[in-house]
Chain A
Amino acid sequence: MFRLVVNGQPREVAADPETPLLYVLRNDLGLTGTKFGCGLGQCGACTVLVDGQPMRSCMLPVQAVAGQAVTTIEGLGSPERPHPLQAALIEEQAVQCGYCTPGIVMAAKAILDRTPRPTEAQLKQALNEVLCRCGTHDRVVRAVLRVAATMGGR
């Protein structure tokens, strides 16, 4: 049995200790916004925040995050009350298939937490950690820079 704090809620899950956090989130806690992309830590579709740090949940055993605070895409905002990053993506319509989107949002959140006002080049460099196949790069960059300009990443 592992105790986690997920999106501010204490949760208990019974899982093999080696189970990647991704499967616990998706299947035990019903938080399917976090996506399986590669299982190799290469694409970032499974990015969540653990104690504020971006982590690849596909490679992170649940036992490694016991007792820590996990934030998933669902914890950032909702369609009714989106986080500014989510609102900016809606504003820019910066989505095509949207499968990589949750990972990109979480990565962008971590980037702005670290560097509230990145230059475009810095932002793109940082976003290289996450992949998009549909070609929304331009719009995503515009959306994140818009947030950085208006709220300095908070």
Chain B
Amino acid sequence: MADIGMTRRSFLKTGGAMVVGFGLGPALAARAGAQTTAAADKFLGKTVAIDAVDGFLALHADGTVTLFSGKVDLGTGARAALTQMAAEELDVPVERIVMIEGDTALTPDQGATAGSAGVARGGMQIRRAAATARRALLDRAAQRLGRPASDLEVKDGVIAPKGGGPGVSYAELVGEQRLNLAVNQKAALKDPAQFRVIGKAVRRPDIPAKVTGRHRFVHDMVLPEMLHGRAIRPPAVGATLLAVDEASVASIPEVRVVRIGSFLGVCAEREWDAVRAAKALKATWSPGTGLPEQARLFAGIRATPVVRDEVLASRGDVASAFAGGGRTLAATYEWPIQSHACMGPSCAVADVTSDRATLWTGSQSTHRFRTTFARILGLPQDKVRLIYLDGSGCYGMNGHEDAAADAALLSRAVGRPVRVQWSREDEHGWDPKGPPHLLDLRAAIDDRGEVVAWNSEAWLPAPTQGLPNVPLLAPLAAGIAQPMGTFAGMIQQNVDPPYQYPNVRTVIHWIKDTPLRAANLRGPGKLANCFAVESFVDEMAVLAGADPIEFRLRYLKDPRGIEVIRRVAARIGWTPRPRPQTADPRAPVLTGRGFSYVHYKHSENYVAMGMEVAVERASGRIRVTRLVCAQDCGLVINPDCVRNQVEGCILQGLSRTLFEEVAFDRSGVTSLDWRGYPVLGFSDAPPLEIELVDRPTEPPIGTGEAAGTPVPGALANAMFDATGVRMRTAPFRPDRVKAALGA
């Protein structure tokens, strides 16, 4: 095996650097997020209190600043944006700020990096901490310089009189001392007119290392004496382990088989040996607990017992309005089970001894999972440390935490650090899934073409009250107690319409169970819900004989929503039309336009989208030929990072709408690779036209989720305009489109 050149003992003694950005200077490596444990460990013992400025910031004698962020960069550019927010309030150049992320020993618990809250909430906490520090430092400088603070200004970390004259730097005022300040929750934040760095397209610090192969992902983490481990998942969901034939891997060098209950794993000195041992190991399993027949998934959902009904929206008198005559319309929409389908299978490194545990993970929620891992390992919480390192694109709770649990159990069993990386089959088969959505919509339209009643209902898996996280596979198999249940994020949001119809009722039927373990998947539930709502509004417009954009604007009062809609209509050159075109039955390629609008969660981003498609009759392939999106996300911290996020949301949304559906049989998932679960390729990715509405005086809103949610509706509406065929079941794979076209 590779000569690691250092024994574990000497390593522990020296606390040697474990992660080094090759080829990068130390400052660049640190800024790039290649956190070195050695560099970070010098801060051990610092406060992580969320109400203390020292929880977030350390000012150094060399003029640099360390920012401790509980929110992490999941590939979103948060590393740039959060640094900008700190830099702005401190008046320090971004280049002098190094960010340490998601280390439970060093960063405040700011909650999971989820729900697009990284910048919106986490960033604002950082701004308040930085503004508190700046204010206190101004007061100290005023004393030192014998001038009132109001006469002083801060530039690049130096406080000096406004008219010129000698000043004093933060470094001189603070040195390496703690600030010992409580975060002033009402600290005056900088006036947007004074922004120097917020609103600028500051380049992401991690990209040079990422394009040159120097960036250290959790997958690249190496510890002295580390073994490579693999967990062996059962052939059927819920199967228990009956017997293991260790002789089946006897020919592979230095393999250790670990069995704890039905948790089965292997460890080896060399990764390839672990990989082939995991494949070769013969084990006998009981039959599984069984899954429903995939073809009957939605019928099964309708038949699943309802735990409780939640009235999401209720306005006017829907029953009377439906009874009052007029034309009615009803439709059912189905959204499939989908996978996070990360490019890099989940990975983690664990170093667990009898009295402490350290885990390196790409988890979006290291703080929350510290509690979970303390319980799983039977250790006090303060003896468990989770350290975030970049994983492969995190779009919600994928397999990162499961891989960490695999590594933790294996490390404890073999008494050495263990790295576990899942196989492609593990990832596609066992990552927690976005649950299926079933929605029924009904509307009534009067003789004048006005909407008089709206009713929408969705059948969704009920969240378990107080569940800290979705149950993890390894402890589940090992028989280690953990809270059981389901939580898939706020999947009920946006089942109610953003339009001001007079009589509206929206009910969520929370059902008892869902096949396959569910968890939050980017924009939880909202792609499915907005697909149904925005498709149905389009159906209503057809019935009302109205132009789909005019029909939406008629019932919208919110000026920010109206603005994004108008911008898309203008940019795409929308021609109002009372009804879709009539498709030429002989044309080999049918073209059309569709529109959709989402007010994300009814409280966050405003997104409008217009799309042009070409549908190939013979193949059933849908090509998006033009895509225009306008988004209002409040104050824009970094316009290029926001654009990158919006683009990513749209293309992933397109991928999920066109291609993605988890396939399963009665035992388990059968779509176990990129052929069984295809994602968007380069040829299917259209050029994107994006307009951001900057609103400097509004609070910033996260952009990691919203722009994907209008995609399925816009696509279905464009497809209808092109072909006259309404797609109410996603994904719109060619075979399904072909069948719908009757080709």
Contact = CB atoms under 8 A, between A and B. Distances in A.
A23 B271 contact: yes
Contacts of B215: 98
B343 A128 contact: no
B217 interface: yes
Contact of B212 (A20, A82, A93, A121): A82
A60 interface: no
A135 interface: yes
A14 to B, nearest CB: 9
A1 B640 CA distance: 48
A97 B74 contact: yes
A149 interface: no
B469 interface: no
Contacts of B166: none
A116 interface: no
B390 interface: yes
A137 B23 contact: no
Contacts of A96: 75-77, 393, 644, 648
A79 interface: yes
Given A96-B648, A134-B393, A137-B682, A27 B212 contact: no
Which interface residue of A77, A125, A127, A135 has the most chain B CB atoms within 10 A? A135
A136 B644 contact: yes
A129 to B, nearest CB: 9
Place the interface of chain B in its size category: 35 or more
B530 interface: no
A95 B76 CA distance: 9
B411 interface: no
Contacts of A80: 23
B424 A97 contact: no
Contacts of A32: 213, 216-217, 219-220
A77 B209 CA distance: 10
B652 interface: yes
**Which of B204, B220, B272, B273 counts the most A-chain CB atoms under 10 A from its CB?**
B272
Nearest to A140: B682
B392 A16 contact: no
A151 interface: no
A64 interface: no
Contacts of B673: 38, 40, 42
A20 B209 CA distance: 25
A124 B685 contact: yes
A93 B644 contact: yes
A99 B344 contact: yes
A121 B623 CA distance: 13
B196 interface: no
B2 A102 contact: no
B210 interface: yes
Interface in A59-82: 72-74, 76-80, 82
A135 B207 contact: no
Contacts of A89: 207, 211
Contact of B687 (A102, A132, A134, A138): A138
Interface string A41-70: 011010000000000000000000000000
A136 B674 contact: no
B207 A72 contact: no
A40 B648 CA distance: 25
Interface in B172-217: 203-204, 206-217
Contacts of B681: 127-128, 131
Nearest to B342: A133
A137 to B, nearest CB: 4
Contacts of B1: 27-28
Given A40-B673, A79-B23, A93 B204 contact: yes
B508 to A, nearest CB: 29
Contacts of A16: 270, 272-273
Contacts of A98: 75, 206-207, 210-211, 215, 390
B554 to A, nearest CB: 33
B343 A133 contact: yes
B141 to A, nearest CB: 37
A16 B215 CA distance: 28
Interface centre among A20, A31, A32 (most CB of B within 10 A): A32
B675 interface: yes
Interface string A133-148: 1111111110000000
Interface of A: 15-16, 18-20, 23, 26-28, 30-40, 42-43, 45, 72-74, 76-80, 82, 86, 89-90, 93, 95-102, 105, 121, 123-125, 127-128, 130-141
11 contacts: A32-B216, A36-B219, A36-B344, A45-B343, A74-B213, A79-B214, A97-B392, A98-B390, A128-B683, A130-B682, A136-B644
Given A124-B683, A130-B682, A135-B648, 5 more contacts: A37-B424, A79-B214, A99-B391, A102-B211, A138-B647
Top 4 A-B pairs, shortest CB-CB distance? A33-B213, A97-B75, A135-B651, A98-B210
Interface of B: 1-2, 22-24, 28, 74-77, 203-204, 206-217, 219-220, 270-273, 275, 341-345, 390-395, 421, 423-424, 640-641, 644, 647-652, 655, 673-675, 679-683, 685, 687-688
